[in-house]
Chains A and B, each alone.
Chain A
């Protein structure tokens, strides 16, 4: 069975550039989550969706970050403009209403 699929796996970009991260959740999962992980701050929930509708975006750090889920099988996380402090690994995850959450392999972002 296909798990959560993220792309790109690695991205290096210059400060000020737009970054778009993509995610395909596990088929049938109602919930989709975007997390960011750094050594300093650990795993942070940025935003999550239920049936394609954003439910809680209180973890989105600032207006430079935006997320969309146009359909049940696709979501994007966009950073515009990117800054060096955005360097982190970004995980997408999905789950049914009950039960555990399943993560993608992550998108490793470096902003120079």
Chain B
């Protein structure tokens, strides 16, 4: 089983749609969680951190479910500019330090 797993997609949605991505992780002691966005031929960039209570940033909402060991990202009112690959990232050490494990990414294509 991979340490961090995502549905690679692609997710093809029309503009204005709501889309949700899930990501599961294997290490129950994981402490830090993030969503990154990567555009074609660019580096991954931080989209948002994921907090235990859930958090929202504009049209983006992140949730953490420790019992089921998954995090989610919800995008409301999708824009063409949201088309990208979304990477789920988990810190795998209980000390909250050390390496971060990346999922393989979920590709989103928003169409007019």
Q: Do A and B come from one complex?
A: yes
Give the interface residue-count category, chain B. 10 to 19
Bound complex: CA A95 to CA B44 (Å): 14
Complex interface bits, B70-104 against A, C-beta within 8 A gives 1, otherwise 0: 00000000000000000101000000111111101
Contact B32 A98 (CB under 8 A): yes
With contact pairs A42-B105, A98-B32 given, residues A106 and B99 touching in the complex (Cβ less than 8 Å)? no
Is A91 in contact with B96, judged by CB distance below 8 angstroms?
Answer: no
List chain B residues, Cβ under 8 A from A43.
Answer: 44, 87, 102, 104-105
Main secondary structure of the interface of A (DSSP, over half): strand
What residues on A are CB-neighbors of B34 within 8 Å?
100-101
Residues of chain B having any CB pair with chain A under 8 Å? 32, 34, 42-46, 49, 87, 89, 96-102, 104-105
Chain A residues within 8 Å of B, Cβ to Cβ: 31, 33, 42-43, 45, 48, 50, 55-56, 91, 95, 97-106
